[in-house]
Amino acid sequence: MTRMVHCVKLDKEAEGLERLTYPGDLGKRIFDNVSKEAWQQWMKQQTILINEYRLSVVDPKARKFLEEEMDKFFFTGGSELPVEFQPKK
């Protein structure tokens, strides 16, 4: 049976994640409150941030930045795209 959550990002009832996707308290909050669809939106946002800012995910500072942006994206008003980002047409 599909696990349903009230997604904080999409503000609707939607299919929940199948497993924890991130460790710790933030990961638990995401699992309890974020849908699969919203998680996929975050994955796209994260890819943009990594590419535009040329982040290395093994760098602790970059990982902290991404974690802060993830928290913003889901729970505190949204993560901003880099000013220089130009989506492909």
Q: Residues 15-57: pLDDT tens digits?
A: 999 999 999 999 999 999 999 999 999 999 999 999 999 999 9
Q: Determine the distance from the C-alpha atom of residue 76 to the mean position of all C-alpha atoms in its chain, rounded to a whole number.
A: 12
What does pTM read for this prediction? Answer: 0.87
Give the residue from 74, 73, 68 showing the smallest Cα distance to 29.
74
Q: Does residue 14 carry a pLDDT above 80?
A: yes
- pLDDT greater than 80 at residue 63: yes
